[in-house]
Chains A and B, each alone.
Chain A
Amino acid sequence: MSIKNIVALVSAGRHPISGQARHCRNDSLAMTIGLALTSDLNAENANSVNLKVIHAGHAKNAALTDYLALGASQIDVIPALENADIVDSLAENLKNVDVILMGSRAESGQDSGLLPYLLAEKLNYSLVANVLTIKQTTEGIEALQFLPKGKRRSVKVTMPTVIVIHPLAPVQLRHAYARQANGHISQFATQTPTQESKYSCTVEWQTQSTIRKPNKLKAKENKSGHARMLSATVSENKGGAVVNDGNSVEKAQVILSYLREHRLINF
């Protein structure tokens, strides 16, 4: 089975400080991987592989021009209401696709990272997340997965499949104005804006525009009076402990016991 249709799903991002519309880096990585795979496959054999870049939202969104500059020659827009759930309408348009590529987390909306999972479930496609690189094999897609602490895992997955790209994918994003000027954004004509979500897992959120540090959940301690007094009078030292005295051996021991106390080393 060989790949014929690849889709890269791209979302609209925004700069966290200026609020300016921009590409979502995670999706750009996925799209760039798709572009590279497409051109590799087309160079190898004659039957042409097609990469479609699809965005669910508004065609006039300024963020989309970034994707053109980053290499998409055309972006197909599925009209969607702002904040509307796009799973159903996307799924409708992603039948008969071999590979769906997308970033791990958007930077607009809820950024839950759930969309690929909902799509895969709905379409009954396989899914591999945290992918760094992909290549085509005879039976499907071979993906290299990111695991923490320098671990990598190779897995083979059958198509059709949803591939979720990890933010550390070794991809160089290249923003070129000429591509932006030559690219096209077109709208799926037949689609009407999608209805309210049927997925209750997208719960009602109340948003606050002010960002504060989260409060850590702590077990209520039934402490002795002495301990309570201690914790009330000795405030958490902001600068951390400073060890001035002792010889080098003792100082080294201080560091070692700190590392062990906080389980930062496993010996």
Chain B
Amino acid sequence: MMNYSITALFWLATATLLLGLWKRTKLWRAGQPAEFAWLNLLAIPKRYFVDLHHVVAREPFIARTHVATAGGAVAALGLVAINYGLMLYCAALNWAILAATAIMLIGVFFVWLRRRNAPARLSRGAWSRLPYSLAAFALGLLIVNLPVTVLSAGVAVFALLLLLVGSAELALGIGLGGPMKHAIAGLLHLAFHPRQERFSGKLSTALMTLDLTNQEYGINKPSDFKWNQLLGFDACVQCGKCEAACPAFAAGQPLNPKKLIQDLVLGLSNDEKSGKTDANFAGSPYPGLPIGEHSGSMHAPIVPSLIEAETLWSCTTCRACVQECPMLIEHVDAIVGLRRNLTLTQGAAPGKAPQTLENLRQTATVGGYDRNARYHWAVDLDVKTIQPNMPVDLLLVAGEGAFDMRYQRTLRALVKLLKAAKMDFAVMGALERDTGDTARRLGDEATFQSLAKQNIDTFNSLTFKRIVTADPHVMHSLKNEYPALGGNYEVLHHTTLLAQLASSGQLKLGKSAETRKLTYHDPCYLGRYNGETDAPRDLLKAIGLQVNEMERSGLRGRCCGGGGGAPLTDIPGKQRIPDIRIQDARNIGAELVAVGCPQCTSMLEGVVRNRPDVLDIAELVASVMEHAS
């Protein structure tokens, strides 16, 4: 009797689950078509245990808890499927089920323990019931599999009820959008992830190119996302690691990446007529924006009824959220997709952004400068300016920093070092146009593509082997985003090149006389976007400087607030992002912050009151050269 009940329950639950999955699939399929391969389903185990676990394992406690809970549950479910689903009712398998449920129960205990002292980033609401419903499932399954021949009727009914409650959590999750939705959607997301390169150990940070001739103008409504992006949003477990990493959230600007993803989930799953708001969201709100006043649906414009524009314009595109997300969700793609629609169809970028975009269109510089003046800082340095039919090894692309008197010091230092290393190099001179990086982050894909195509034409008319730049944003554009438009170049950050030259002995370096306590700030576009965290540190070590690491460094470095056009849109918050970063430096007693990016330099130097000095690595290295000579 009991066995049959469990079999019935199992198949009922399975049917419910499949029905729910079918329902949910219908929602995802409302999205735009995307290339995918069914065979990737086979890659799920590897991607789960390697790529996903790599992120989760940063927090060992929760990693072990999840292994016990999910592992126990999956094992138990598999065994139940065999033993009860196929109606074998084999006693040995009962023992195995018992073992699996016991492991699961231990895991659930730790889930419960964690929930008792949950950090603020974790969502409450439905997620708070999870330890209990999972415990009900495990306990129910444990009881019915106990090696006793006859359970008292009361206990049997109680156990079945527990099992029913637990199974409901598991089976209904995907169909009704409960917390356990993450299990199914998460696994499918691993298979059909929009950035498949991520699973082959490569960085995948370039924004997708829009086909403007085909009237692709970004995301207006949830159904404008690709179906696998929608699937990805459903994978979110609301752990809030993105929230904890987000510099805009920390600064009190109205952005919370977790809330953003949940708003999109609300949009994709909401019935058009229900008018259901985001009131059920049980996590931290967007700072300054109350919960319960926004609503959306699959075919309704997202901004502003579901998500306010200022939320989107708060993002610095630093990718800290993406770096932290255990479910490998791509928040920045979603934000830029939404920005693109605002900019391309309404021209609605706020603050100084419209003026900047106009400058880029009209002068090919961010600040509206004369581009013939970009290399004026190099007049007295006896530097070649590249021309067609003048082959060089190395082309120096300065970027917008060249117009900034502060960053010209860095560039001059770099030129001196390149000369000391006897490099065959030239600067780009008046031929250089802005890479369009800022335009692209602000959603102006048209201006980006126009600038990129002009730059690619220019590069094609020149002969060089490699490009070096002191601006990681220039580097990211040229190296990662120009290939999609037909420009393929070997692009080096100046610290990478200098580190190579130093280790090969081509650049002979002495030891720095610097005695101040030093730290290094990783630019997001160098670290997370290009994976370069070692060369700057190696270089500092090579001149005898010890790097004291700040609270967040390397691939998990904290943003300076200068990316993504955020200083232009300038959405007000409670404090400024660079102040937070300088506080990191103060906290370890650093008196000197080494940087490798013009944006970081100007943002960090913009912090008022006594702060550590900010110097580019090129300046530090060049000062060693001067001491030596």
In-complex A–B contact (CB below 8 Å):
yes
Which residue of chain B is the closest to A66 with respect to CB atoms? B361
Q: List, in ascending order, chain A residues with CB within 8 A of B217's CB.
A: 177-178
* B117 interface residue per 8 A CB criterion: no
Asked, given contacts A18-B362, A18-B371, whether A69 binds B215 with beta carbons under 8 Å apart, the answer is no
Once bound together, how far apart are the Cα atoms of A15 and B358, in whole Å?
10
Once bound together, how far apart are the Cα atoms of A173 and B354, in whole Å?
8
* A22 interface residue per 8 A CB criterion: yes
The reply to whether A69 and B362 form a contact with Cβ atoms under 8 Å apart is no
- Looking at B215, B363, B444, B447, the one whose CB has the most chain A CB atoms below 10 A away is B363
Q: Which of B245-253, B326-334, B340-348 contacts A (4 or more CB under 8 A)?
A: B340-348
Once bound together, how far apart are the Cα atoms of A135 and B364, in whole Å?
38
The reply to whether B354 and A17 form a contact with Cβ atoms under 8 Å apart is no
Contact of B344 among A18, A70, A173, A178 (CB under 8 A): A178
The reply to whether B363 and A20 form a contact with Cβ atoms under 8 Å apart is yes
The reply to whether B363 and A176 form a contact with Cβ atoms under 8 Å apart is no
* B321 interface residue per 8 A CB criterion: no
Within 8 A of B (CB), among A50-78: 69-70
The reply to whether B347 and A174 form a contact with Cβ atoms under 8 Å apart is yes
Asked, given contacts A17-B368, A17-B369, A18-B371, whether A177 binds B212 with beta carbons under 8 Å apart, the answer is yes
* B271 interface residue per 8 A CB criterion: no
The reply to whether A181 and B363 form a contact with Cβ atoms under 8 Å apart is no
* B568 interface residue per 8 A CB criterion: no
* B370 interface residue per 8 A CB criterion: yes
The reply to whether A176 and B344 form a contact with Cβ atoms under 8 Å apart is yes
* A175 interface residue per 8 A CB criterion: yes
Which residue of chain B is the closest to A70 with respect to CB atoms? B347
A254 to chain B, nearest CB (A): 30
Contact of B362 among A15, A70, A176 (CB under 8 A): A15
* B97 interface residue per 8 A CB criterion: no
Within 8 A of A (CB), among B359-397: 361-364, 368-371
Once bound together, how far apart are the Cα atoms of A175 and B347, in whole Å?
5
Once bound together, how far apart are the Cα atoms of A210 and B354, in whole Å?
30
B261 to chain A, nearest CB (A): 26
Q: List, in ascending order, chain A residues with CB within 8 A of B478's CB.
A: none
Specify the main secondary structure of chain B where it touches its partner: helix
Q: How large is the interface on A (under 10, 10 to 19, 20 to 34, 35 or more residues)?
A: 10 to 19
Q: List, in ascending order, chain A residues with CB within 8 A of B345's CB.
A: 176, 178-179
Contact of B444 among A70, A173, A177 (CB under 8 A): A177
The reply to whether A177 and B354 form a contact with Cβ atoms under 8 Å apart is no
Per-position 1/0 for B414-445, Cβ under 8 A of A:
00000000000000000000000000000011
The reply to whether A22 and B362 form a contact with Cβ atoms under 8 Å apart is yes
The reply to whether B368 and A176 form a contact with Cβ atoms under 8 Å apart is no
B342 to chain A, nearest CB (A): 9
* B524 interface residue per 8 A CB criterion: no
Asked, given contacts A18-B370, A20-B363, A174-B354, whether A181 binds B347 with beta carbons under 8 Å apart, the answer is no
The reply to whether B346 and A174 form a contact with Cβ atoms under 8 Å apart is yes
A-B contact pairs, 25 of them (CB 8 A): A15-B362, A15-B363, A17-B363, A17-B368, A17-B370, A18-B362, A20-B361, A22-B358, A22-B361, A69-B347, A70-B347, A173-B354, A174-B346, A175-B354, A175-B361, A176-B345, A176-B346, A176-B347, A177-B212, A177-B343, A177-B446, A178-B215, A178-B345, A179-B345, A181-B212
Q: Which residues of A contact B (CB under 8 A)?
A: 15, 17-18, 20, 22, 69-70, 173-181
